[in-house]
Amino acid sequence: MSAPRAGRVRKSGVAAVAMLALAVLGSGVAVVYVKYLTRLEFGVLQQVRAERDDLDVEWGRLQIEEAALTSHTRVEENARRKLDMYLPQGGEVRVVEVTVSGGPADAR
């Protein structure tokens, strides 16, 4: 090989090695940055999960409270005490029949 050609091969080899070194360095920095972002997002995820768990506990408590407040005995007790309501006696019950006029049956 002649000296000028050997110099060109050596320069292109050095340039290729330098480019590969920069690519490796760049990908290493990118990996570190992505790992950092992943840790940040994982922290947010943990925070949101804790918030969800707190809301689930609150929802369960509210469902229990609703069941207690809407029980039949409680509703009946409030109706008697606060509204002076009572079960009607047999003679106090009235049956009302409702007929619908103007419907398809009347068109015949």
Mean pLDDT computed over every residue of the chain: 88
Q: How far apart are the first and last CA of the chain?
A: 112
Tens digits of residue pLDDT in 38-82: 999 999 999 999 999 999 999 999 999 999 888 888 889 989 999
Task: Tell me the C-alpha to C-alpha distance, in Å, between residue 17 and each of 6, 7, 8, 14.
Answer: 16, 15, 14, 5
Please give the Cα distance from 9 to 4 (Å, whole number): 9
Whole-model pTM over 0.75: no
